[in-house]
Amino acid sequence: MTLIDESELEEKLENLEGWRHEGTAIVKTFENADFVASVEFVDKLLEPAEELGHHPDIEISWNQVTVTISTHSEGGLTAADFDLAERIDRL
């Protein structure tokens, strides 16, 4: 996989609502009704992550789920990261 350059990164982020660039990753925090809803949201992440063979880092804090996506094997961001972010946003 090829790392995305800075100009392509900015272009791709413009098409994703709420995602931000942090270091070598893109990050978004999703707000849910409560802890149960947060866990249910995380469960929904399983299908797109497995289908794409690309797995995010996930942090749950009561009614919030923070999803961090990066291609660790490449040391940064690739098209696969943005594909997964788009799929997550469609949930």
The reported pLDDT for the residue numbered 91 is 92
* CA atoms 11, 82, 73, 40: torsion sign: positive
- Over residues 43-64, the pLDDT tens digits come to 999 999 999 999 999 999 999 9
Mean pLDDT score across all residues of the chain? 97
- Over residues 3-14, the pLDDT tens digits come to 999 999 999 999
Q: Half-sphere exposure of residue 37, counting CA atoms within 13 Å on the CB side? A: 7
The reported pLDDT for the residue numbered 1 is 83
Q: DSSP of 10-34, one letter per residue?
A: HHHHHTSTT-EEETTEEEEEEE-SS
Consecutive H or E run containing 64: strand 64-69
